[in-house]
Amino acid sequence: MQFGLLNAVRETRLPLRIYYEDTDAGGVVYYANYWKFCERGRTEWLRALGFEQQTLLDEAGLAFVVRKVEGDYLRPARLDDEIVVNTVMADARRASLKFTQYIERGTERLFTATVSIACLDLASGRPAAIPEHIRKTLEAAA
Amino acid sequence: MQFGLLNAVRETRLPLRIYYEDTDAGGVVYYANYWKFCERGRTEWLRALGFEQQTLLDEAGLAFVVRKVEGDYLRPARLDDEIVVNTVMADARRASLKFTQYIERGTERLFTATVSIACLDLASGRPAAIPEHIRKTLEAAA
Amino acid sequence: MQFGLLNAVRETRLPLRIYYEDTDAGGVVYYANYWKFCERGRTEWLRALGFEQQTLLDEAGLAFVVRKVEGDYLRPARLDDEIVVNTVMADARRASLKFTQYIERGTERLFTATVSIACLDLASGRPAAIPEHIRKTLEAAA
Amino acid sequence: MQFGLLNAVRETRLPLRIYYEDTDAGGVVYYANYWKFCERGRTEWLRALGFEQQTLLDEAGLAFVVRKVEGDYLRPARLDDEIVVNTVMADARRASLKFTQYIERGTERLFTATVSIACLDLASGRPAAIPEHIRKTLEAAA
């Protein structure tokens, strides 16, 4: 199987509660905070595969950084809501990953996003190949 | 039993994960964010008694607002840590509550706080008596 | 002049300082926070035309809400950096606005975004025409 | 003059605008965010003396970390408000500083705080003496 052709490998669902800190004076969740929820979702997706970002940083000097995002705000989330962040890997290449994410409240879709991630060598600041053992895990999960 | 004498009625434990959004360039959790964790803890404490802040707002025009806080930063929490927010009601009066809260990572204590809360009538902006049905629930829980 | 054809009516430049609260454990600004900076930029753009969001809310029951965003992360901002948020109105229609925004540090471009905004009637939750006096101001500024 | 006796050395005033990101569904500034404003105030106080936190970190491996805070919430700040953060050094010791801070809107006082800061050696995680050149600057400013 070719690595670049992986599609929708795994999906993780992360349930979250909306607290005061997430809302704004408009009475709904502040628009930038959906990106926090999405990042929590991607972190749990990675953790479900057995990887932690801190370990990647400490052991290999690598970090996954966001390059590009697109987001559609469909309906607002509100205080005390229970929402679910769904995270799907849409594509994987030598030095980058692409995710599709959507946030739901029950069966209502509130927010959808696509997020492009690059693997970076922090010392040089340049793109780096995703480590072999992570690539193998991604392939095995396909 | 006298309402003002209630001590340490109930304790709730809320487990939380530390994400990138919680940390700062010092490599640890940003100091203001411990107060977010504490507010999540108090909200879950209230929810465990059967009350939601949004309902209180909509039905009675009342809100619990923070009047005074004291916090001690003992050890820093870090990315990927699992922490627990412990919330104990230390005192309850006619129009106010006082909480003791502490945040732990395993058996290590990271942060302790005391938080004084007032019950406010939002229309007048003035202190208001805590509604009878909430007081009764607090007493029953004692 | 036709309202829908307005392009790049005005540009506002909002200088900002990066504080600890904006950064994360990767040592750079947390990716969601660029959207906070963009929202500050749009608010100042609106204020430069003589409008405040709170007034719009109180007097007309209207709010400008974000419908769609696209963002490109080019280079990271860091603690103590001075950045500038540039905000340009790219299009205006009967019930919506579109902005192009970019964030710079000196002559380096760090982040670019497009943001689509809808004017909403908060009582009904439905799109509403942008009030006449705001439209006239936008046209006069063209 | 004895270093430990310094009182109220300098006061800096930092004007800030309240944006949507600072508020919550209660319609006012979220309580944890006053601590963000205070940290901006202390950073500008330090910068006014000629020091940046990033430089301190890079050159000496030292960081100023918060040990203890006390805060009184007197009146809420709201969307679009212009506030001023006042920062005064109340005490300076060999390895620690203490600040008094208050936030005002015009002549109304909204929030007061005391903040105890320790100077830490990041490699060892232990308290470290404040560097001589910073101490001399603090004394000269007295």
Question: Which one, of B71, B81, B78, lies nearest residue B24 by Cα?
Answer: B78
Nearest to C21 among D36, D52, D53 (CB): D36
Mutate to test the interface with B, among D30, D31, D57, D103 (most CBs of B within 10 A): D31
Question: Which one, of B47, B104, C33, lies nearest residue A17 by Cα?
Answer: B47
Tens of pLDDT, residue by residue over C74-114, are 999 999 999 999 999 998 899 999 999 999 999 999 999 99
User: CA D117, CA B17: separation in Å to the nearest integer?
Assistant: 26
> Which parts of B1-142 fold into alpha helices (H)?
33-48, 53-60, 132-141
Q: Is there a contact between B32 and D31 if contact means CB atoms under 8 Å apart? A: no
* Cα atoms found within 13 Å of the Cα of residue D36, Cβ hemisphere only: 23
**Is D22 an active-site residue?**
no
Question: Residue A31: its pLDDT value, please?
Answer: 98
B62-73 and B11-17: which strand pairing? unpaired
- Which segments in chain D show pLDDT lower than 50? 1-9
User: CA B98, CA D84: separation in Å to the nearest integer?
Assistant: 29
Nearest to B35 among D32, D68, D76 (CB): D32
- Residues of chain B in contact with residue C23, where contact means CB-CB under 8 angstroms, are 24-25
B96-105 and B82-92: which strand pairing? antiparallel
Q: Is there a contact between C24 and B28 if contact means CB atoms under 8 Å apart? A: no
User: CA C87, CA C11: separation in Å to the nearest integer?
Assistant: 5
- Residues of chain D in contact with residue A30, where contact means CB-CB under 8 angstroms, are 20-21
Q: Is there a contact between D21 and A32 if contact means CB atoms under 8 Å apart? A: yes
For A30, which DSSP code?
-
Identity of the residue numbered B7? N
Model confidence, pTM: 0.92
**Cβ neighbours for C140, distance < 8 A, ≥ 6 positions apart:** none
Nearest to B52 among A21, A39, A80 (CB): A80
Tens of pLDDT, residue by residue over C105-128, are 999 999 999 999 999 988 888 899
Tens of pLDDT, residue by residue over B12-67, are 999 999 999 999 998 899 999 999 999 999 999 999 888 887 788 788 888 899 99
Question: Residue A117: its pLDDT value, please?
Answer: 95
Tens of pLDDT, residue by residue over B67-80, are 999 999 999 999 99
User: CA C70, CA A35: separation in Å to the nearest integer?
Assistant: 12
In contact, D122 and D63? CB cutoff 8 Å: yes
Look up the ipTM and state it: 0.89
**Cβ neighbours for A118, distance < 8 A, ≥ 6 positions apart:** A64, A65, A67, A95, A96, A127
- Residues of chain D in contact with residue C54, where contact means CB-CB under 8 angstroms, are 78-80
Mutate to test the interface with C, among A31, A34, A103 (most CBs of C within 10 A): A31
> Which parts of D7-80 fold into alpha helices (H)?
33-48, 53-60
Question: Residue B141: its pLDDT value, please?
Answer: 67
Helix (H) or strand (E) run with residue A40 in it: helix A33-48
